[in-house]
Amino acid sequence: MKRLFDALLTQKHYLTPALLFVLLTAGMFVFNLIIVDYIDGYTVLAGGKPIGLVKSKDDVTQRLALLERQIETENQIDIVFDKDLLGYTRTEATLDRFSSIASLDHNLKENLTYKCKVWVLKVDGEEVVYLRTRQEVEQLIDRLNRAFIPKVRSDDKIEDLSIHIMEDLDIQTGLAYTESIKNIDDAFNYLLWGAQERKSYSIQRGDSFYAISKKYGISFTDLITANSHLDPQNLKVGDTVYLTVPKPQVNVEVSYRHVYDQIIYPPVISIRDNSMLRTQLVVDAEGEQGKKRVYADKVFVNDKEKSIIVVKEEILKNPRVRVLRIGTRRTPDDILVARAFLAPGIGVISDYFGSPRWGGRRHIGIDIAVPENTPVYAYRAGTVQTAGWSRAGYGNLVVLEHEDGMLTYYGHMNSVAVKPGQHVEKGELIAYSGNTGISTGPHVHFEIRIDNRPINPLTYLKSH
Spans of the chain below 70 pLDDT: 1-36, 195-197
- Which of 152, 55, 60 lies closest to 104 in space, CA to CA? 60
Q: What is the pTM of this model?
A: 0.57
Architecture of domain 120-154+164-242: Roll (3.10)
Q: What residues contact residue 39 under an 8 Å CB cut-off, 6+ apart?
A: 55, 92, 93, 94, 95, 98
**pLDDT of amino acid 8:** 47
**pLDDT of amino acid 1:** 46
Question: What ranges make up the beta strands (E) of 77-208?
Answer: 79-81, 86-93, 114-123, 126-131, 157-165, 169-176, 200-202
Longest CA–CA span in the chain (Å) reads 150
Superfamily grouping for domain 332-463: Glucose Permease (Domain IIA) (2.70.70.10)
Size (the chain), residues:
464
| CATH dotted code for 254-327 | 2.20.230.10
Sequence ranges of the domains in the chain: 2-35, 39-75+82-112, 120-154+164-242, 254-327, 332-463
Query: pLDDT for 207-243, tens place per residue?
Result: 888 888 888 878 888 888 888 888 888 888 999 988 8
Q: What residues contact residue 21 under an 8 Å CB cut-off, 6+ apart?
A: none
Rounded Cα distance between 409 and 406, Å, is 10
Query: pLDDT for 321-375, tens place per residue?
Result: 999 999 999 999 999 999 999 999 999 999 999 999 877 789 999 999 999 999 9
* Strands laid side by side in the 322-329 sheet: 268-277, 322-329, 281-285
- Which of 58, 50, 119 lies closest to 85 in space, CA to CA? 50
